[in-house]
A = this chain, B = another copy of it.
């Protein structure tokens, strides 16, 4: 059994147009990188080698909280040192906290002799989400853990369904350097919605699931539309409509807000289109003096993975 592992844990796009609160997918870049080492202190130690601020107290860090949930289930006492060497920017809407929770749980599970399956580990990673955003969501943790697209069909009991998707599906994500607090993004949503729009939304989500499973790009494109959340939340993101229109003009299958924003994602079926969209996205934000980071990658079919391990 290894004594340490280095883990890559991917960023994830949740909501995915019509799939608010239930759908998400993993991407290849960016991601968290963290090294997890067994220690004999019986305690947790967090080391941050990135230039992004992270809580170092084990009871406040999502990674250690998630691993502790696993240890409790195992009824095991084990110390771990968790060293963050690369970190997704927090608050970007691409599952930064989920990547840390998932990465740490996956790594600790490896070091404990793999007592749990990936599906079983989602529940522990969700405990990290609970301290990060106040409730134990799975729409980022599930795809980070399992890869590809995942549907959270229900929370009680927790039912997570991997959704097969076409192989050549590319994602462009732009993270503009503005802050949208998840709490604010939640607050502006209405508690009630019109039945008419809800029917449109679930017709679109059903079409998106069928389109993904049948590799029907036309259906994916006609279904990748959010008539409920995007119209409200997009007002928090300057130039959202221009970015979206530009992505569609460039040939995207669809474009919407990633998670609660401010990141925006677009899906395409060609790498060239995805790269063209990346340039356009960055230029659009630059035109109003907003800096941005942009990532082009395939949908990540595997999810979190071991990069390296050692005695």
Residues of A within 8 A of B (CB): 18-23, 151-154, 157, 159, 161, 163, 189-196, 198-207, 209-211, 213-214, 216, 219, 222-223, 228
User: Complex formed: what's the CA distance from A140 to B223 in Å?
Assistant: 21
| Min CB–CB distance A34 → chain B (angstroms) | 31
User: Complex formed: what's the CA distance from A153 to B152 in Å?
Assistant: 21
Starting from the known contacts A20-B199, A153-B204, A161-B210, 9 additional A-B residue pairs (CB-CB under 8 Å) come to A18-B202, A22-B203, A151-B206, A153-B206, A153-B223, A154-B203, A191-B195, A192-B192, A192-B195
Q: Which residues of B contact A216 (CB under 8 A)?
A: 161
| Min CB–CB distance A162 → chain B (angstroms) | 9
With A190-B195, A205-B202 known to touch, is A222 a contact of B159 (CB < 8 Å)? yes
Partner of A207, one of B159, B193, B228: B159
User: Complex formed: what's the CA distance from A193 to B204 in Å?
Assistant: 18
Q: Which residues of B contact A152 (CB under 8 A)?
A: 203
Q: Which residues of B contact A192 (CB under 8 A)?
A: 192-195
User: Complex formed: what's the CA distance from A203 to B137 in Å?
Assistant: 14
User: Complex formed: what's the CA distance from A151 to B205 in Å?
Assistant: 11
By the criterion CB–CB under 8 Å, are A151 and B207 in contact?
yes
